[in-house]
Amino acid sequence: MKKKPKRETVFGLDKMATVKCFKNMNSDLSAIFEDIIMELEKEKELNIVNRLEEETEDGNPFLSVTAVRVGTPGYTYGETRELSVTITGTPNDYIVEVHAGCWGFDYSGAEGLKTSGPDFGLPSSAYLHDLLRRIDELVRKHSEKDLGFDNVETITE
């Protein structure tokens, strides 16, 4: 059963995080990472500001990308502020960690106002849900084994 994203608010800025643990998939982590970057580049309201491709101390890949919202923020409750995706581990035992930051309240005075659609910016929870679904598709595409209950665990914070 999936857990609801827990929101942590600091100075009116919410953060949502999801970690997906994949086992026994024999996945091409670099190909998954490149396709995730392509997914982020498709979103016209996001701009990639940092891309990191390094190794951990034990020689495993550490791949990370951060994108921020471009243009003037609308400060609408739940609107995406920034997004980061990190992949680390081995092809048979790795995690994909996704953090989405969003505005925690509406500055216009309408407490709890939740809007979505092209006129109101990029809603963080909806985009995060779609991105996580797309990451599952990319893992399937770049793995030797199919994705199933026995080889993936999702942790939402």
- Helices (H) then strands (E): counts for the chain: 2, 7
Structure confidence at residue 128 (pLDDT) = 78
157 residues of the chain, pLDDT tens digit each: 444 444 444 334 455 688 999 999 999 999 999 999 999 999 888 889 999 999 999 999 999 999 988 765 555 555 667 889 999 999 999 999 998 876 554 333 333 333 333 334 455 567 778 889 999 999 999 999 998 888 999 887 6
Report the C-alpha gap between 93 and 55 in whole angstroms.
Answer: 15
pLDDT the model gives residue 148: 87
In a domain, 3, yes or no: no
Per-residue pLDDT, 64: 97
pLDDT of residue 73: 55
Predicted local distance difference test score (pLDDT) of residue 123: 54
Could you tell me if residue 25 is inside a domain? yes
Q: Is residue 2 part of a domain?
A: no
Number of domains in the chain: 1
Q: Is 151 helix (H, G, I), strand (E, B) or coil?
A: coil
- The identity of residue 129, as a single letter, is H
**Which pTM was predicted?**
0.76
Range of the domain at 109: 8-156
Look up the CATH number of the domain holding residue 116: 3.60.90
By the 8 A CB rule, do 108 and 50 touch? Answer: no
Question: For residue 15, is it within any domain?
Answer: yes
Q: Is residue 1 part of a domain?
A: no
What local confidence, expressed as pLDDT, does residue 71 receive? Answer: 65
Q: What pLDDT does 17 receive?
A: 81
Tokens describing residue 141: 């595409």
